[in-house]
Amino acid sequence: MDRKSIFLLVASVLLIFSWQPIMTHFFPPAPVATNMVASATNQLKTNAASTTVTTPNLAAEKVVPINTNAPEQVLSVTNENAIYTFTSHGGGLKQVELVRYPAATQCGAEKNVTTNFYATLNSEAPTAALVLLGGESVQGDGIFELVHTGNVVRAEKSLPNGLSIVKEFTLGTNYLVTAKARLENKGTQTITLPAQEWTIGMAAPMSARDDGTYVGFHFYNGDKAEDVTVRSFAGGGFMGCNTSAAKQY
């Protein structure tokens, strides 16, 4: 190996180890949001004699388990793409069965194996998707009433303090479900709520070889689609092949 080749090899090794500090110096990561609940919640006005539900920057109460001893009401709604199952335990979307995709396929076969089991989302999650947690003042016993009208499923719960929690799930096309949640004070006194936590479902491995790098968070921010991947939270990278640090929302 001649002198020029040795020089190029040494320079390449130095560049590999110094690339990340250089990128961090010129492109510092954005700060990670640490108080998303407080920044996302403001004073919510109701139409009940101008009473309000306020959500100041308070610490979350101790999470109260949903009363699973109470009978569970399960409501399933089917369209051309999936079977959506809702539960009264938390008033959320318990699971989604994709009727166009079987749970298993036969290797090498031209057609899928005939099966009554579908690929399912969120089936092993400890709680349903879009369940509100945050203590007894916003949970109560966690049991909701479910009502199905057309392509809309409504989950509602009234608490002794006058707080009413209403969720509406609208089934759309292309596997989309639009969810709306409203916290309303139907009493005569102001209600001060602690920080709240919303569950958004659980990701499961796609196969035995899945290393988790495809896990991410996808949402619409009102202007465009956002895609936050695992690398966005993990930071770091190699030879510049990394995304920016976690964004602040």
161 or 114, higher pLDDT: 161
Average pLDDT over residues 57-77: 77
Q: Which residue has the higher pLDDT, 70 or 179?
A: 179
More confident residue, 52 or 76: 76
Tens of pLDDT, residue by residue over 141-174, are: 889 999 999 999 999 999 998 999 999 999 999 8
Structure token pair of residue 218: 């996808």
Q: What is the pLDDT of residue 47?
A: 40
Nearest 10 degrees: Cα torsion 217, 99, 151, 46: -30
What pairing do the DSSP bridges indicate for beta strands 197-198 and 132-133? antiparallel
Tens of pLDDT along 216-238? 777 778 888 888 777 666 654 44
- Pick the residue with more confidence: 140 or 87? 87
Where in 103-224 does DSSP place strands (E)? Answer: 118-121, 132-133, 145-149, 152-158, 163-171, 177-185, 191-192, 197-198, 216-220
User: What is the reported pLDDT for 25?
Assistant: 57
Put simply, whether the predicted model's pTM sits higher than 0.75 gets the answer no
Nearby residues of 210 by Cβ (< 8 Å), 6 or more positions away: none
Which strand (E) or helix (H) includes residue 52? strand 52-54
Whether pLDDT at 38 is above 60: no
Flag whether pLDDT at 55 surpasses 60. Answer: no
pLDDT value at 41 more than 50: no
Average pLDDT over residues 102-128: 73
What three-state secondary structure class fits 239? coil
What's the CA gap between 244 and 233, in Å, rounded? 9
**Residue 86 Cα to chain centre, angstroms:** 16
List the domain boundaries for the chain. Answer: 17-43+205-249, 47-195
Of 248 and 202, the structure prediction assigns the larger pLDDT to: 202
